[in-house]
Amino acid sequence: MPRVPRDPAPRARAWMAARGWTPFDFQREVWAAQAAGQSGLLHATTGAGKTYAVWLGLLERLAGATPPPRAPALTALWITPMRALAADSAAALAAPLPDLAPGWTLGLRTGDTASAERARQDRRLPTALVTTPESLSLLLSRPEAATALGGVRAVVVDEWHELLGTKRGVQVQLALARLRRWRPDLQVWGMSATLGNLDEARAVLCGGGPSVGVQGRVDKTLVIDTLIPEEPGRYSWAGHLGARMQAPVVEELARSDTALVFTNTRSQAELWYQMLLDARPDWAGQVALHHGSLDKSVREWVEQGLKGGQLKAVVATSSLDLGVDFLPVQRVLQIGSAKGVARLLQRAGRSGHAPGRPSRLTLVPTNTLELVEAAAVRAAALAGRVESRHSPEQPLDVLVQHLVTVALGGGFDAEALYDEVRGAWAYRHLSRAAFDWALAFCERGGDSLTAYPDYHRIARAEDGRWTVPDTPQGRATARRHRLGVGTIVSDAALQVQYLNGARIGTIEEGFIGRLRRGDCFVFAGRLLEFVRVQDMTAWVKKATKAKGAVPTWQGGQMPLSTELADAVLAQMAEAADGRFHSPELTAAGPMLRTQAERSALPRPGVLLIEHQRSREGHHLCLYPFAGRQVHLGLASLLAWRLSRAQANTFSLSVNDYGLELLGAEPVPLEPLLDGSAFAEDDLLDHVLASLNAGELAQRRFREIARIAGLVFGGYPGAPKSLKQLQASSSLFYDVFRQYDPGNLLLDQARREVLSHELDLARLRAVLGRLRGWRREAVALSAPSPLSLPLMVERLRERLTTEQLAARLERLLREAEAGR
DNA sequence: GACCTGCTGCGGCCTG
């Protein structure tokens, strides 16, 4: 441990004192580490003074007390995951410059930066630059990158927990490795919210090099409570809207000045916005809606209203999880499950956003089981059991993109770049063969695309360096590459626009594709009638009909985290032992007792298997409490294994707590009871056979093809439609499979399906757990409270895929023929 | 006892 000076940053301390601030202990701790030249990660709750902890110490170290003869070159970089955050940070970071870093200039560079400012920066970058991962990559792709960025001595990454587990984070890792190559003494500091694996997060950020972790302990009271429904004994067993909580929520909002109301989906936000206005028409103009499909101008208006304290309540999705600090927000309400402890803490932190003010979050359960979950998530949050996030391992699509970026940014020597890339945590084990494959892929497009010059993106110059050649073809490559930088791949979206011109927002092509002229839908809090699609725009008019279908967006999966699922199971065990200590569990008491009477309460160590015969067929419900993603894999696996033993056709249904198999024929229980159905033998083969893994991999490949630069998304303002993108990526998928089966991007697609979509590691762990558990079968005479939501889920949407049905039929015929 | 989940994030060409 290097010697720490007693007063590591006297000028920073003086600057704070002039404003009446006394540095917190953790701020001095960061300054001391920075003074010693160390890198590190600062973990603290929001609103605790992280920004100045990290920034002032760096300025003290990097800037002289007297103005330098002329403005120095780019010295410090500040990376944020969001443009709005970048703009906000730039203002805060500029404040101490005149005193602590005289002569320094500060600039902002994101996609929002005006072209005049961009041009000015291109001539000369400021001393400190606030930017995003994508804009940083674009800077690295400029020919003079080494001179322009080679002098960077410090990088700060804000909200690192947000980037860590994503390909965007890998993009940052690669950029840092590059900067580190130019300046081996580069100081890197990250800031993170609560995370289960802070040490790993720090190692990933600092490339495994020496670094320190600092805990920003600030007194912050966290209050989590639950809105208990009236007559909890009659609260609904299923459903996720929570319409019966309308009145209590309105009451809570009436009592507070400004509140955020979080929902899990955009359609849920739309519906709750309506419900609030239906109950209180006088709140029109004071209640607003905020989610990712709304037009930017609408969202900005809402954000301004929140900042200014003019709004009473905003109903939002995760679109307001991060970003600008909304000081006036007093209360946060969470409708439905928070799905994870980290998300809950993040959202709670949106209220009382200043040191010393308490954060308060109120859970609003939408069904009785969510009462149990509310008790569970509070217990887990207060015990600090927070989810971990892990860096992706060796995503080759990101590497391919980076190789082209670096080739454009002055070119590279293969040997040196291989070493550099392995300095990024995600590629620390990258083999030379994989690196050379990626290199060759950029050079010739792999074995199958050699005939197409569009995919000959880089070439080896006479001096051995790899560059993008300065030819018409090369210039076209450069242009397309810069347009496609980044790892965020979203589906094609259509503009929603009134016939008279006003733009309302965007909506997925898939949803609009299901509408016919005259169909109505609710969007942006308005009832709209669909007219036609033209030029990637859905034209609409005000609807006159009373009712509309609410749009559903195809979004990501949000399975319950392992931490939370375990916490729910622990609550069930409490109830089984007759301990109803929390108001939530007490309120869920009647339902839990019904469950105990009709069936049994699940508890750790016991797998509950309910079976029932109905007009629909033979039901089998299992409750592993492993999250819906794993349940989906498990349900498919069980259906496949059971129907192999004895021909049958199953409908599947899953939720976060359990799964249902509905068989056309009676289902033998023995394989479940003796545990053989949970065997790990040939797991991979069986999973791949049971799910349509090929289809999944092909879908996954769409993202990979985009990131690796195989598929071009079109020029700004004229995006290609989803169909075109799908067509071209599936073409590549097929071509590679046929003519280039060794293509490592195919391999990556398969790996991503197994790890992201099926979560094979968790599935394997769950199978192991279930084999170790005692298995208890109960015959039901009426649906149990736990099984009912599964049946409802199945009625809503049949999970049986055509493919599965067809395959099962084929299996059946084969079994028939074999006999 | 029965209805309706599935998020977020960024970037930017050429031509006259």
pLDDT in tens, A258-277: 999 999 988 889 889 999 99
Query: How far in angstroms lies nucleotide B11's C1' from the CA of residue A579?
Result: 54
Query: How far in angstroms lies nucleotide B5's C1' from the CA of residue A317?
Result: 12
Q: What is the mean pLDDT of chain A?
A: 87
Strand (E) or helix (H) holding A177 = helix A167-182
Closest CA to A156 of A60, A64, A75: A75
Local confidence band at A449 (pLDDT 50, 70, 90 cut-offs): confident
Residue owning tokens 């002569």:
A103
Query: How far in angstroms lies nucleotide B15's C1' from the CA of residue A14?
Result: 55
Which residues make Cβ contacts (< 8 Å) with residue A667, sequence separation at least 6?
A611, A618, A620, A642, A646, A648, A661
Query: How far in angstroms lies nucleotide B3's C1' from the CA of residue A113?
Result: 47
Q: Are A151 and A126 in contact (CB under 8 A)?
A: no
Query: How far in angstroms lies nucleotide B9's C1' from the CA of residue A195?
Result: 19
Which residues make Cβ contacts (< 8 Å) with residue A230, sequence separation at least 6?
A248
Sign of CA dihedral A629, A630, A631, A634: positive
Taking only Cα atoms into account, the Rg of chain A, rounded to an integer number of angstroms, comes to 28
Question: What's the CA gap between A25 and A44, in Å, rounded?
Answer: 12
CA angle A531/A534/A538 to nearest 5° reads 50
Among A637-651, A737-751, A801-815, the range with the most confident prediction by mean pLDDT is A737-751
Could you identify the residue whose CA is nearest to the C1' atom of nucleotide B4? A796
- Give the residue ranges of DSSP H helices in A238-340: 246-255, 266-279, 296-308
Report pLDDT for A1.
47
Scanning every strand, the nucleotide with its C1' closest to A485's CA turns out to be B11
Scanning every strand, the nucleotide with its C1' closest to A559's CA turns out to be B6
- Going by the DSSP 8-state scheme, the letter that residue A292 receives in this structure is T
Query: How far in angstroms lies nucleotide B11's C1' from the CA of residue A158?
Result: 19
Q: What is the pLDDT of residues A557-591, one digit of tens each?
A: 678 888 999 999 999 999 999 999 999 999 999 99
Local confidence band at A805 (pLDDT 50, 70, 90 cut-offs): very low
> Which residue(s) pair with A107 in the sheet?
A129
User: What is the pLDDT averaged over residues A15-22?
Assistant: 93
Could you identify the residue whose CA is nearest to the C1' atom of nucleotide B5? A265
Answer yes or no: is pLDDT of A812 > 50: no
Local confidence band at A79 (pLDDT 50, 70, 90 cut-offs): very high
Local confidence band at A699 (pLDDT 50, 70, 90 cut-offs): confident
Scanning every strand, the nucleotide with its C1' closest to A549's CA turns out to be B4
Q: Are A230 and A286 in contact (CB under 8 A)?
A: no
Amino acid at residue number A393: E
> Phi-psi category of A194—alpha, beta or left, where left has phi over 0 and alpha has psi -120 to 50?
beta
Q: What is the pTM of this model?
A: 0.90
Sign of CA dihedral A574, A577, A579, A585: positive
CA angle A390/A748/A733 to nearest 5° reads 145
First to last CA, chain A: 74
Answer yes or no: is pLDDT of A70 > 70: no
Report pLDDT for A554.
45
Q: Are A387 and A161 in contact (CB under 8 A)?
A: no
- Going by the DSSP 8-state scheme, the letter that residue A549 receives in this structure is B
Q: What is the pLDDT of residues A661-691, one digit of tens each?
A: 988 888 899 999 999 999 998 888 888 777 7
Question: What's the CA gap between A618 and A598, in Å, rounded?
Answer: 17
Distances from the Cα of A702 to the Cαs of A445, A692, A720, in angstroms? 17, 16, 14
User: What is the pLDDT averaged over residues A107-129?
Assistant: 92
Amino acid at residue number A229: P
Answer yes or no: is pLDDT of A491 > 90: no
Question: What's the CA gap between A780 and A802, in Å, rounded?
Answer: 30
Query: How far in angstroms lies nucleotide B13's C1' from the CA of residue A168?
Result: 23
Report pLDDT for A233.
84
Report pLDDT for A806.
43
Report pLDDT for A588.
94
User: Which of A542-556, A675-689, A783-797 is least confident?
Assistant: A542-556
Protein footprint on strand B: which nucleotides are under 7 Å from a CB? 1-14
Answer yes or no: is pLDDT of A179 > 80: yes
Report pLDDT for A803.
39
Could you identify the residue whose CA is nearest to the C1' atom of nucleotide B7? A318
Could you identify the residue whose CA is nearest to the C1' atom of nucleotide B10? A134
Report pLDDT for A538.
82
Question: What's the CA gap between A648 and A722, in Å, rounded?
Answer: 37
Scanning every strand, the nucleotide with its C1' closest to A319's CA turns out to be B8
Scanning every strand, the nucleotide with its C1' closest to A558's CA turns out to be B6
Scanning every strand, the nucleotide with its C1' closest to A234's CA turns out to be B1
Residue owning tokens 């308060």:
A360
User: What is the pLDDT averaged over residues A147-162?
Assistant: 95
Amino acid at residue number A398: V
Residue owning tokens 């995600």:
A426
Query: How far in angstroms lies nucleotide B8's C1' from the CA of residue A819?
Result: 53
Scanning every strand, the nucleotide with its C1' closest to A791's CA turns out to be B2
Report pLDDT for A48.
64
Query: How far in angstroms lies nucleotide B9's C1' from the CA of residue A163?
Result: 9
Could you identify the residue whose CA is nearest to the C1' atom of nucleotide B12? A483
User: What is the pLDDT averaged over residues A692-705?
Assistant: 80
Query: How far in angstroms lies nucleotide B2's C1' from the CA of residue A575?
Result: 25
Neighbours of A386 (CB within 10 A): 23
Task: Tell me if residue A146 falls in helix, strand or coil.
Answer: helix
Scanning every strand, the nucleotide with its C1' closest to A168's CA turns out to be B9
Which residues make Cβ contacts (< 8 Å) with residue A474, sequence separation at least 6?
A459, A468
Answer yes or no: is pLDDT of A816 > 50: no
Sign of CA dihedral A416, A421, A425, A428: negative
Report pLDDT for A719.
65
Show the tokens assigned to A564: 């939370």
Q: Are A58 and A36 in contact (CB under 8 A)?
A: no
Answer yes or no: is pLDDT of A712 > 50: yes
Query: How far in angstroms lies nucleotide B9's C1' from the CA of residue A327?
Result: 23
Report pLDDT for A262.
95
Scanning every strand, the nucleotide with its C1' closest to A240's CA turns out to be B5
Calculated CA dihedral for residues A111, A117, A123, A126, nearest 10 degrees: -90
Local confidence band at A817 (pLDDT 50, 70, 90 cut-offs): very low
Pairing mode, strands A526-534 and A520-523:
antiparallel
- Going by the DSSP 8-state scheme, the letter that residue A402 receives in this structure is H
Phi and psi angles of residue A550, each rounded to the nearest 5 degrees, phi first:
-85, 135
Sign of CA dihedral A626, A628, A632, A638: positive
Query: How far in angstroms lies nucleotide B7's C1' from the CA of residue A556?
Result: 7
Local confidence band at A652 (pLDDT 50, 70, 90 cut-offs): confident
Crossing angle of helices A744-752 and A722-739, rounded to 10°: 120
Task: Quote the longest CA-to-CA distance of chain A.
Answer: 92
Q: What is the pLDDT of residues A325-358, one digit of tens each?
A: 777 888 999 999 999 999 999 899 888 766 667 8
Report pLDDT for A76.
96
Answer yes or no: is pLDDT of A10 > 60: yes
Q: Are A623 and A661 in contact (CB under 8 A)?
A: no
Question: What's the CA gap between A586 and A229, in Å, rounded?
Answer: 12
